[in-house]
């Protein structure tokens, strides 16, 4: 959680002037260009779920996917390189924040299209089942995704074929600049999942211990071959939709309450009560800051991709170099 | 050699690939019963319901799941029934399958073959009759294949299954029952056109369901003193520029004929390239920019005729 927070704080700083939206102007000197979607305040969901996964398990993520990627074990240095658009980035600078991926740790990609990761996760789980692998797929998506068709289609498919998928609805209560509740009929993600025959649990997504425990229970059921499960983790999007969005459309009291419910100090207090020393906790934060500081230095120093790279990894048959 | 229909020829290529490679799987609506055109007949009995997978009517998830399967090590064959239905899966084709390899910096590949049959299918009207091949040729990352006969359907499907890229495989719905001798071991590389008839006065480029009317028009043109060279493009992306340009450089005149709507059809790409490279006269024959109507009279108005191709050859 500390590593995710430190990474996103640094990325946010480096992205000032990075995109012309919400009245902000584009700056020529910006280091992180384009939309940067921060999961600040939502770290407990990524950390609590991924702590239950093995290296062989796979995940799919969303446009707000830094936390999931870090929690699955990706290198912060290579991630920062990707946000800077450098050749050292985990996608070689071809994807950026919205498409960040690290297949070496089983992270099959963030996705710029809401709910698009759901069918991909289902297919990956289907492949694991056909290839008789023991692993599962954790599929992260937001509250907005439950209003798209692939949510219904993907959960139905996973249930029909009893696939090893843990669906994780990371409910931050905002769909871009619109409150999701105002646009969503019925009782939300878990009720819809149960209607399709996918059982699950609702949990306080800002309580990393609760997320961890709920994920443990659901992951055990998925691993036992009982079919897909859904974890509905209720959290809050502390920042705007993208880093330049001041989110002035929200009630200040709502945001203040959310800031009081920050999952990181809450987890620290629980750890202190359980006997962790203040020094040990301070050390965790310090190490995260150091790691991210080194990642910023490395990303700044790294080389840009070769322009010729824009013609590679497209297709082997009829690639972009082909004339006409 | 065996006498096979266009549908059977595709089925044979798939059967051979599934026998050779356990990673090849089929998914889509009704594939277990052989598919509505019979192009999967017998495969589920032979390879089981786990590898020939009946799916819900969930086009987006059929295609999206195939992307996930491909990223996780399988080679899925995706049944979309008709190209018109694949429009429910355009995000999964264009934003996911076509982009994954590039945007993830080469960390993953999507070796899938999506079967999206094209063409007017008698009496099926506006939502089951479109020829949308140009849409897919426009998208970087995709290969687009349009077989016109049983032999090519066998060989090109086999080549597509060996290709590591996402392939949009577009059989023509009015060719399913056409029969011919098929050599299942014959190879046809992707991106290579076939010169079906030699000619000296004009190059006629076509593909899929328009090949037969084009050959008829070329025969009729001979009687009128015009010798047409007929080229079946077979693959639209990458299209065989060398064969087309070499032919057009000799004949000094080009006609492209396709069933798809003429406006912004793939014929425009070929005509423009030939005009740019050779500076010779080019003409396009394509469907009117109208939906395909149900009534026989209206459907005929949407088809391109032998007479229309002949008229272009004679001009």
Interval A100-137: pLDDT, tens: 999 999 999 999 999 999 999 999 999 999 999 999 99
Give the bridge partners for B114, in sequence order: B78, B168
Q: With a CB-CB cutoff of 8 Å, which residues 235-274 of chain A face chain B? A: none
What is residue B28's predicted lDDT score, i.e. its pLDDT? 97
Statement: residue A320 has pLDDT above 70: no
A90 pLDDT band, cuts 50/70/90, is very high
Are the beta carbons of A318 and B101 separated by less than 8 Å? no
Q: Assign 3-class secondary structure to chain B.
A: CEEEEHHHHHHHHHHHHHHHCCCEEEEECCHHHCCCCCCCCCHHHHHCCCCEEECCCCHHHHHHHHHHHHHCCCEEEEECCCHHHHHHHHHHHHHHHCCHHHHCCCCCCCCCEEECCECCCCCCCCCCCCCCHHHHHCCCCCEEECCCCHHHHHHHHHHHHHCCCCEEECCECCCCCCEEEECCCCCCCCCCCEEEECCCCEEEEECHHHHHHHHHHHHHHHHCCCCEEEEECCEEECCCHHHHHHHHHHHCCEEEEEEEECCCCHHHHHHHHHHHHHCCCEEEEEECCCCCCCCHHHHHHHCCCHHHHHHHHHC
B chain contacts of residue A157, beta-carbon cutoff 8 Å: 55-56, 58, 61, 65
Are the beta carbons of A94 and B141 separated by less than 8 Å? no
A258: alpha, beta or left? (left if phi > 0; alpha if psi -120 to 50): alpha
Statement: residue B191 has pLDDT above 90: yes
- Domain assignment present for B187: no
Are the beta carbons of A153 and B71 separated by less than 8 Å? no
Q: Are residues B170 and B202 in the same domain?
A: no
Sign of CA dihedral B96, B98, B104, B109: positive
Longest dimension (CA), chain A: 68
Tell me chain A's radius of gyration from C-alpha atoms. Answer: 20
Task: Print the domain residue range for B290.
Answer: 194-314
Helices and strands, number each (H, E), in chain A: 11, 7
Query: Which position has the token pair 């992307």?
Result: B67
- Residue A95 forms contact with B (CB below 8 Å): yes
Are the beta carbons of B104 and A99 separated by less than 8 Å? yes
Which of B56, B73, B166 faces A127 most closely, judged by CB atoms?
Answer: B73
Share of chain B above pLDDT 90, in %: 100
What average pLDDT does the structure give for chain B?
97
Q: How many CA atoms lie within 13 A of B312 on its CB side?
A: 23
- Residue A90 forms contact with B (CB below 8 Å): yes
Which of A58, A315, A324 faces B273 most closely, judged by CB atoms?
Answer: A324
Q: Are residues B13 and B155 in the same domain?
A: yes
Closest alpha carbon within chain B to A94: B103
Are the beta carbons of B92 and A116 separated by less than 8 Å? yes
Count structural domains, chain B: 2
Per annotation, catalytic residue among B128, B138, B172, B258: B128
Interface test with B, best of A91, A110, A127 (most B CBs within 10 A): A127
Distance between CA atoms of residues B82 and A112, nearest Å: 27
Nearest Cα of chain A lies from the Cα of B86 at a distance, in angstroms, of 14
Work out the number of other CB atoms within 10 angstroms of the CB of residue A275: 7
Nearest Cα of chain A lies from the Cα of B237 at a distance, in angstroms, of 6
- Domain assignment present for B188: no
What is residue B216's predicted lDDT score, i.e. its pLDDT? 98
Interval A274-292: pLDDT, tens: 999 999 999 999 999 999 9
Mean pLDDT, range A154-178, rounded to an integer: 97
Starting at the edge strand that comes first in sequence, how are the strands of the sheet with A137-142 ordered? Answer: A58-60, A137-142, A165-171, A229-234, A200-204
Closest alpha carbon within chain A to B162: A317
Q: Are residues B40 and B143 in the same domain?
A: yes
Q: Are residues B55 and B151 in the same domain?
A: yes
Mean pLDDT, range B22-29, rounded to an integer: 98
Q: Give the ranges where A131-197 is alpha helix by DSSP (H).
A: 149-160, 189-196
Statement: residue B121 has pLDDT above 50: yes
Q: Give the ranges where chain A is alpha helix by DSSP (H).
A: 2-14, 43-50, 66-71, 76-83, 117-130, 149-160, 189-196, 208-223, 252-260, 263-273, 278-301
Q: Are residues B201 and B108 in the same domain?
A: no
Interval B141-180: pLDDT, tens: 999 999 999 999 999 999 999 999 999 999 999 999 999 9
What is residue A322's predicted lDDT score, i.e. its pLDDT? 57
Name the residue among B310, B39, B74, B305 with its Cα closest to residue B170: B39
Give Cα A143 to chain centroid, integer Å.
Answer: 13
What is residue A244's predicted lDDT score, i.e. its pLDDT? 86
Interval B36-88: pLDDT, tens: 999 999 999 999 999 999 999 999 999 999 999 999 999 999 999 999 999 99
Nearest Cα of chain B lies from the Cα of A284 at a distance, in angstroms, of 31
What is residue B226's predicted lDDT score, i.e. its pLDDT? 98
- Domain assignment present for B189: no
Q: Are residues B288 and B173 in the same domain?
A: no
Nearest Cα of chain A lies from the Cα of B168 at a distance, in angstroms, of 12
Q: Can you read off the two tokens belonging to residue A259?
A: 């800031």
Are the beta carbons of B104 and A314 separated by less than 8 Å? no
What average pLDDT does the structure give for chain A?
95
Non-local CB neighbours of B214 within 8 Å, separated by 6+ positions: B204, B206, B230, B257, B309
Sign of CA dihedral B223, B225, B229, B230: negative
- Residue A132 forms contact with B (CB below 8 Å): no
ipTM over 0.85: yes
Q: Are residues B223 and B273 in the same domain?
A: yes
What CATH number does residue B161 fall under?
3.40.50.970
Statement: residue A18 has pLDDT above 90: no
Are the beta carbons of A99 and B103 separated by less than 8 Å? yes
Question: Residue A230 in 3-state DSSP?
Answer: strand
What is residue A321's predicted lDDT score, i.e. its pLDDT? 63
Mean pLDDT, range A68-96, rounded to an integer: 98
Q: Are residues B217 and B299 in the same domain?
A: yes
Name the residue among B23, B4, B25, B26 with its Cα closest to residue B155: B4
Q: Are residues B60 and B128 in the same domain?
A: yes
Which of B66, B103, B190 faces A123 most closely, judged by CB atoms?
Answer: B66
Non-local CB neighbours of A205 within 8 Å, separated by 6+ positions: A42, A44, A45, A170, A171, A211, A233, A234, A235, A263
Task: Give the CATH number of domain A2-301; options: 3.10.20.30, 1.10.3720.10, 3.40.50.970, 3.60.15.10.
Answer: 3.40.50.970
- Domain assignment present for B213: yes
Query: Which position has the token pair 């005929």?
Result: B300
What is residue A19's predicted lDDT score, i.e. its pLDDT? 80
A chain contacts of residue B273, beta-carbon cutoff 8 Å: 324
A324 pLDDT band, cuts 50/70/90, is very low
What count of CB pairs under 8 Å joins A to B?
Answer: 158
Decide if A316 contacts B143 (C-beta within 8 A).
no
Is B128 one of the catalytic residues?
Answer: yes
State if pTM tops 0.90: yes
- Residue A154 forms contact with B (CB below 8 Å): yes
Are the beta carbons of A119 and B60 separated by less than 8 Å? yes
A chain contacts of residue B137, beta-carbon cutoff 8 Å: none
Statement: residue A153 has pLDDT above 80: yes
Which of B56, B69, B141 faces A124 most closely, judged by CB atoms?
Answer: B69
Distance between CA atoms of residues A84 and A13, nearest Å: 12
What CATH number does residue B261 fall under?
3.40.50.920
User: Alpha-carbon dihedral of residues A236, A242, A245, A246, nearest 10 degrees?
Assistant: 40
Domain boundary among B182, B207, B224: B182
Which of A91, A127, A322 faces B104 most closely, judged by CB atoms?
Answer: A91
Nearest Cα of chain B lies from the Cα of A214 at a distance, in angstroms, of 26
Domain boundary among B133, B150, B182: B182
Distance between CA atoms of residues A33 and B74, nearest Å: 35
Interval A20-72: pLDDT, tens: 788 777 887 889 999 999 999 999 999 999 999 999 999 999 999 999 999 99
Domain boundary among B152, B182, B212: B182
What is residue A16's predicted lDDT score, i.e. its pLDDT? 87
Non-local CB neighbours of A221 within 8 Å, separated by 6+ positions: A229
Q: Are residues B130 and B242 in the same domain?
A: no
Are the beta carbons of A313 and B102 separated by less than 8 Å? yes
Distance between CA atoms of residues B156 and B74, nearest Å: 20
- Domain assignment present for B79: yes
């Amino acid at each position: 959680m500390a590593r995710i927070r430190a990474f996103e704080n640094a990325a946010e700083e480096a992205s000032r002037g990075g995109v012309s939206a919400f009245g902000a102007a584009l700056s020529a000197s910006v280091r992180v260009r384009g939309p940067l979607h921060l999961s600040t305040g939502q770290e407990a969901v990524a950390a609590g779920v991924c702590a239950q996964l093995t290296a062989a398990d796979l995940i799919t993520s969303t446009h707000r996917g830094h936390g999931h990627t870090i929690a699955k074990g990706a290198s912060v240095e290579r991630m920062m390189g990707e946000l800077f658009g450098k050749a050292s980035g985990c996608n070689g600078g071809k994807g950026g924040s919205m498409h960040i991926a690290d297949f070496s740790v089983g992270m099959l990609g963030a996705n710029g299209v809401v709910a698009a990761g759901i069918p991909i996760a289902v297919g990956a789980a289907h492949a694991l089942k056909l290839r008789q692998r023991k692993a599962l797929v954790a599929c992260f998506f937001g509250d907005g995704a439950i209003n798209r068709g692939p949510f219904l289609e993907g959960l139905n498919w996973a249930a029909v074929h009893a696939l090893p998928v843990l669906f994780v609805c990371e409910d931050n209560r905002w769909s871009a600049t619109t409150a999701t509740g105002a646009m969503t009929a019925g009782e939300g993600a878990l009720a819809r999942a149960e209607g399709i025959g996918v059982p699950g649990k609702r949990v306080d997504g800002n309580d990393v211990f609760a997320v961890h425990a709920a994920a443990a229970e659901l992951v055990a059921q998925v691993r036992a071959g009982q079919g897909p499960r859904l974890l509905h983790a209720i959290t809050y999007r502390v920042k705007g939709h993208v880093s330049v969005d001041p989110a002035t459309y929200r009630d200040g009291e709502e945001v203040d309450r959310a800031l009081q419910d920050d999952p990181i100090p809450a987890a620290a207090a629980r750890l202190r009560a359980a006997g962790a020393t203040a020094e040990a906790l301070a050390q965790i934060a310090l190490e995260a800051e150091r790691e991210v500081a080194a990642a910023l230095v490395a990303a700044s120093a790294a080389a840009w991709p070769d322009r010729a790279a824009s013609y590679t990894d497209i297709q082997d048959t009829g690639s972009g170099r082909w004339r006409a | 050699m065996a006498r096979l229909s266009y549908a059977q020829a595709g089925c044979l290529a798939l059967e051979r690939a599934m026998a050779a490679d356990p990673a090849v799987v089929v998914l889509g609506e009704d594939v277990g019963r052989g598919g509505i055109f019979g192009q999967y007949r017998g495969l589920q009995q032979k390879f089981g319901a786990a590898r020939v997978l009946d799916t819900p009517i969930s086009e987006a998830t059929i295609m999206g799941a195939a992307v996930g399967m491909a990223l996780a090590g399988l080679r899925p064959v995706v049944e979309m029934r008709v190209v018109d239905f694949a429009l429910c899966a355009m995000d999964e084709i264009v934003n996911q399958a076509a982009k994954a390899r590039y945007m993830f910096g080469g960390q993953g590949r999507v070796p899938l073959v999506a079967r999206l049959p094209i063409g007017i299918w008698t009496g099926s009207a506006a939502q089951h009759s479109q020829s949308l091949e140009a849409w897919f040729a426009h998208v970087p990352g995709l290969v687009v294949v349009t077989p016109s006969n049983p032999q090519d359907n066998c060989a090109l499907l086999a080549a597509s299954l060996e290709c590591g890229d996402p392939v949009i495989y577009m059989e023509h719905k009015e060719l399913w029952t056409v029969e011919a001798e098929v050599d299942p071991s014959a190879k046809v590389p992707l991106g290579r056109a076939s010169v079906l008839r030699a000619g000296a006065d004009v190059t006629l480029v076509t593909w899929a369901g328009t090949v037969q009317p084009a050959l008829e028009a070329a025969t009729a043109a001979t009687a009128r003193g015009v010798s047409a060279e007929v080229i079946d493009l077979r693959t639209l992306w990458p299209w065989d520029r060398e064969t087309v340009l070499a032919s057009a450089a000799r004949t000094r005149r080009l006609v492209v004929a396709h069933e798809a709507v003429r406006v912004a059809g793939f014929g425009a790409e070929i005509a423009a390239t030939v005009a740019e490279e050779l500076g010779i006269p080019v003409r396009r024959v394509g469907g009117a920019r109208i939906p395909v109507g149900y009534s026989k009279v209206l459907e005929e108005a949407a088809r391109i005729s032998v007479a229309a191709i002949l008229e272009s050859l004679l001009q």
